[in-house]
Amino acid sequence: MHEKVLLGMSGGVDSSVAAVLLKEQGYDVIGVTMKLFEGEGSCCNLSSTFAAKRVCDYLQIPHYTLNFQDDFKKYVVDDFICQYKNTRTPNPCIECNRYLKFGVMYQKAKELECEYIATGHYAKIAYSEKYNCNVLMKSKAGKKDQSYVLYYIPNELLNHIKFPLSDFTEKEEIRKIAEKYNLPTARTPDSEDICFIPDGNYKDFLEKYANMKSEIGNIVDSSGKVLGKHNGLYRYTIGQRKGLGISHSTPLFVIGFAPERNELIVGEETELYKKEFCVNDIHLLLMDEIKEPMRVEVKTRYTANTAKAIIVQDKNQIRVQLDEPQRAITPGQSAVFYDGDIVVGGGKIM
């Protein structure tokens, strides 16, 4: 009897090819599409569900659609709104992976007596002799690697996850496999927007869905000098330059917030750079705690390059001391720590 795998399928080419590869490796694959948000978003909607089902029918594997809208609203959408209300910039994909794809989906896998869960993420699970256990690692996909958004995978799942796309370097390789097997999703466009905000306009979403209202306040520099007016703190993020509506002798960027005074703080680009910051909401994959200062590479947002640093844990916080200052370190985003290609863990930037 072959081992069973529950594969999360979004209706895109990545998860479709993941199904093919798992079948080739001899697994009994069950496809599952999670209904997460009401509306025609860019994934997990009605059309993507039909696409996933067509692939499963074509490959002759079972397919289920599961309604996790309540969980998604609680853990992802409500958190997204809360973070913006508190002048923080969230990454909803991290929360979705944490609570949905590697949370409730794993519970469903156990109900279906599956030994593994799988997704079309570009990441890798492999055994590490250094740490004497399975670890989460970067894939070979370079800038498309998604290990950053997966650092909150529960430790106990590392022995029960398959990432079939871990060794691919180019998306075109995936599409060629899909075409070879005549998969109906072979030329499905990549989804790059937040799945519940398909047009990418998060400000409109916050105003329409969460009834957030623009509250006009002062734009000030780091000395407190008033330079202009903003139209709602939630409409800005650290590092933003465009849309400030003020003129100055040098370019100005958002460098911080003073919500207690409803002030937006701006400064020159040099003021965006920091050499030290802290994270909380910590999750470590390789150890229970960091007992001694540890040299790592840190990634402070999905699109950022890694930077060398030393991390020191003090109870529920980790202090990150960078070798070189980094630009636009943003509260609400995650800092993820790497030992080479291995994910050590991470936390939310404070």
Helices (H), 101-238: 105-111, 171-180, 202-209
296/165 same-domain check: no
Nearest of 234, 195, 231, 193 to residue 81 by alpha carbon: 234
Q: Are 246 and 219 in contact (CB under 8 A)?
A: yes
Band of residue 40 on the pLDDT scale cut at 50, 70, 90: low
139/255 same-domain check: no
Which whole number is the average pLDDT over 184-195?
82
Place of tokens 């916080």: 317
Q: Is 195 known to be catalytic?
A: yes
**pLDDT score recorded for residue 39:** 63
Q: Which residues of 60-82 are buried (b: 16+ CB within 10 A; e: fewer)?
A: ebebbbeebeebbbebbbebbbe
Helices (H), the chain: 13-24, 46-59, 69-72, 78-85, 92-96, 105-111, 171-180, 202-209
> Which has more pLDDT, 19 or 49?
19
Band of residue 66 on the pLDDT scale cut at 50, 70, 90: very high
Q: Are 146 and 37 in contact (CB under 8 A)?
A: no
Q: Give me 342's structure tokens.
A: 């291995």
- pLDDT of 31 strictly over 90: yes
- pLDDT of 45 strictly over 80: no
In a domain, 259, yes or no: yes
Which whole number is the average pLDDT over 59-84?
96
In angstroms, rounded to a whole number, what is the distance separating the alpha carbons of residues 187 and 174? 10
Total domains in the fold of the chain: 3
Q: Which residues contact 299 (CB under 8 A, 6 or more apart)?
A: 148, 305, 306, 307, 335, 336, 338
CATH code for the domain in which residue 51 is found: 3.40.50.620
Which whole number is the average pLDDT over 29-35?
96
218/345 same-domain check: no
Which whole number is the average pLDDT over 8-30?
96
- pLDDT of 221 strictly over 90: yes
Which whole number is the average pLDDT over 179-203?
87
CATH code for the domain in which residue 297 is found: 2.40.30.10
Which DSSP category does 147 fall into?
G
236/344 same-domain check: no
Catalytic choice (43, 44, 96, 114): 96
Distances (CA, A) of 22 to 13, 34, 60, 152, 181: 14, 20, 13, 24, 14
Q: Which residues contact 303 (CB under 8 A, 6 or more apart)?
A: 143
**pLDDT score recorded for residue 47:** 79
**pLDDT score recorded for residue 134:** 97
- pLDDT of 309 strictly over 80: yes
Which whole number is the average pLDDT over 174-179?
95
Nearest of 189, 231, 195 to residue 213 by alpha carbon: 231
Place of tokens 């997966």: 150
Which whole number is the average pLDDT over 187-196?
81
101/122 same-domain check: yes
Which whole number is the average pLDDT over 55-62?
96
97/125 same-domain check: yes
Nearest of 212, 199, 103 to residue 152 by alpha carbon: 103
**pLDDT score recorded for residue 142:** 93
pLDDT tens digits for 270-279?
999 999 999 9
In a domain, 185, yes or no: no
36/174 same-domain check: yes
**pLDDT score recorded for residue 348:** 98
Band of residue 347 on the pLDDT scale cut at 50, 70, 90: very high
CATH code for the domain in which residue 238 is found: 2.30.30.280
Region of poorest pLDDT, from 45-54, 167-176, 323-332: 45-54
* Domain assignment of residue 231, given as a range: 214-267
106/13 same-domain check: yes
Nearest of 91, 119, 88, 92 to residue 37 by alpha carbon: 92
Region of poorest pLDDT, from 28-32, 34-38, 208-212, 306-310: 34-38
283/261 same-domain check: no
**pLDDT score recorded for residue 301:** 95
Element (H, E) at 4: strand 4-8
In a domain, 132, yes or no: yes
Which whole number is the average pLDDT over 280-305?
97
Catalytic choice (43, 44, 114, 195): 195
Band of residue 44 on the pLDDT scale cut at 50, 70, 90: low
pLDDT tens digits for 255-270?
999 999 999 999 999 9
pTM for the structure as a whole: 0.95
